[in-house]
Amino acid sequence: MRSKTGSAALAAAASVLALTVGCSPTGGDRAATAPPPSSVVLTDADSHGYITFDTDRQVLTGYTHGGKRVWEEDRYFPTDVHCAASCPDAAVSATADMNKSASGTEVLWKQDGHSTTQSFTDKSLVVQWARDKDTWVATTSSGIIWSDHGTTHKETFAKGLADSMGRLSADNGTLLISIQENGGNSWSVYRFPLNKAGLSPSRIATDLPGSVGCLSPEQDTMWTLGDKAFEFNLTTGKKIRDVKKFASDCASSKTSTVLGAFSADPDQSTQEISITSGSRATTFQKVTVRSSGEISVFRDCAVLLSNGKLTTLSARGTKTESEIDAHSMRTLPDGHVYSVAPSGKVAEHRIDASTCRIV
At residue 268, the pLDDT reads 66
pLDDT band at 36 (very low <50, low <70, confident <90, very high): low
Predicted confidence (pLDDT) at residue 195 exceeds the cutoff of 60: yes
How many residues are present in the chain? 359
CA 272 to CA 318: how far, in whole Å?
Answer: 14
Arithmetic mean of pLDDT, 18-33: 38
Assess whether pLDDT exceeds 50 at residue 253: yes
- Tell me which DSSP letter residue 247 carries: B
Neighbour-count burial of 280, counting CB atoms closer than 10 A to its CB (0-12 exposed, 13-18 middle, 19+ buried): exposed
264: β partners:
269
Alpha-carbon gap, residue 182 to 214, rounded angstroms: 23
Q: Is the pTM of this model over 0.75?
A: yes
Which helix (H) or strand (E) segment holds residue 61: the answer is strand 59-64
Cβ atoms within 10 Å of 34's Cβ, excluding its own: 14
Q: How far is CA 216 from CA 171, 273, 303, in A?
A: 9, 18, 17
Report yes or no: 231 and 241 within 8 Å, Cβ to Cβ: yes
The pLDDT-based confidence of 14 (bands split at 50, 70, 90) is: very low
First to last CA, the chain: 18
Residues near 210 by beta carbon (within 8 Å), at least 6 away in sequence:
187, 224, 225, 226, 227, 230
Using alpha carbons, select from 236, 240, 232, 192 the residue that is nearest to residue 216. 232
Sign of CA dihedral 94, 150, 129, 228: positive
Reported as a single tens digit per residue, the pLDDT across 267-304 is 568 999 999 876 677 788 999 999 888 999 999 999 99
What are the phi and psi torsion angles at 62 (to 5°)?
Answer: -105, 135
Instruction: Please say whether the beta carbons of 126 and 93 come within 8 A.
Output: yes
Shortest CA distance to 45 belongs to which of 356, 353, 347? 347
**Alpha carbons 73 and 110: distance in angstroms, whole number:** 9
Quick check: 9 pLDDT over 90?
Answer: no
pLDDT digits (tens, 9 = 90+) for 178-191: 999 999 999 999 99
Q: What is the pLDDT of residue 1?
A: 31
Q: Each residue of 117-172: pLDDT tens digit?
A: 999 999 999 999 999 999 999 999 999 999 999 999 999 999 999 999 999 999 89
Smallest CA-to-CA distance from 206 within 168, 243, 180, 226 is with 180
Alpha-carbon gap, residue 80 to 164, rounded angstroms: 13
Number of neighbouring beta carbons within 10 Å of residue 122: 17
CB 331 within 8 A of CB 337: yes
Looking at per-residue pLDDT, the higher value among 141 and 26 belongs to 141
Contact 260, 271 (CB under 8 A): yes
pLDDT of res. 266: 60
Q: 342: which DSSP letter?
A: T
CA 30 to chain centre: 34
The rounded mean pLDDT for the chain is: 89
Element (H, E) at 117: strand 114-120
Cβ–Cβ under 8 Å, residues 16 and 293: yes
SS3 content of the chain, % helix, strand, coil (to 5): 5, 50, 40
Q: What is the pLDDT of residue 280?
A: 73
Per DSSP, the three-state class of 15 is helix
Given a cut of 60, whether residue 8 has pLDDT beyond it is no
